[in-house]
Structure 1
């Protein structure tokens, strides 16, 4: 019982984090695009929309358990990309807090990798996926 509760809470935390990120992107798409442009990426508005849509897809995967391991791996790659692109070593000199933000992404990656390996649990999880099978 406690294992099931822990897994469900972890899934809700993952979903909640990406839901907040998507909400901020949808509510402030222009601000997100400006932040992306400031990092030097082309097509910032398109990338802002794609990021928000991707985050919604992650939320659905974490809440339903469908393609959970795949979503966890993709989310991990996304989180590390964000760490280097927006909080990487080039940002540390101007603001020491950026190093903390950078490191935080790796702790999030650790949780996502653990989730990818262990799957969404047996309760409240759709039985769809390419990696995790019941």
Structure 2
């Protein structure tokens, strides 16, 4: 029972983090695009929309458990991209706190990698995926 609760709480934390990020993007799309543009990326507004919908997809995967491992791996790659693109070494001299933001992304990555390997748990989970098959189903 404790294992199931811990996994569900972790899924809610992942969904909450990406859900808040998506909500902030949807609520301030032009500000998000300006932030993306300031980092040197072209096509900032389409990228902002893409990021918001990607994060929304991650939320759905984390809440339902469908394609959970795949979502966790994609989220991990996304988090590493965000770390380097928006908080990487070029930002540290101007604001030393950026180094902390950078490192925090790798802590998040560790949790996502762990989640990807261990899956969404046995409770409240659709357990569909492409990479790793359901362990219970493959044992039979």
Q: Same fold (TM over 0.5)?
A: yes
1:41 maps to 41
* 1:119 to partner: Cα distance: 0.2
1:84 maps to 84
* 1:133 to partner: Cα distance: 1.9
* 1:39 to partner: Cα distance: 0.3
Q: Is the 8 A contact 2:68 2:127 kept in 1?
A: no
Query: Mind listing any 5+ residue stretches in structure 2 that lack a counterpart?
Result: 135-140
Distance 2:65 2:20 in 1: 19
Larger Rg: 2
Render the CA deviation track for 1:81-124: whole Å, top value 9, x for unaligned.
00000000000000000000000000000000000000000110
* 1:62 to partner: Cα distance: 0.1
* 1:131 to partner: Cα distance: 1.8
Asked if residue 19 in structure 1 is aligned to residue 34 in structure 2, the reply is no
Q: Give TM-score, length-normalised by structure 1.
A: 0.99
2:138 maps to none
Asked if residue 69 in structure 1 is aligned to residue 69 in structure 2, the reply is yes
Q: Is the 8 A contact 1:72 1:112 kept in 2?
A: yes
Stretches (4+) displaced over 4 A: none
* 1:68 to partner: Cα distance: 0.2
Q: Give TM-score, length-normalised by structure 2.
A: 0.95
Distance 1:27 1:39 in 2: 20
Query: Mind listing any 5+ residue stretches in structure 1 that lack a counterpart?
Result: none
* 1:67 to partner: Cα distance: 0.2
* 1:127 to partner: Cα distance: 2.4
Asked if residue 58 in structure 1 is aligned to residue 58 in structure 2, the reply is yes
Q: Is the 8 A contact 1:68 1:132 kept in 2?
A: no
Distance 1:127 1:104 in 2: 29
Q: Is the 8 A contact 2:18 2:55 kept in 1?
A: yes
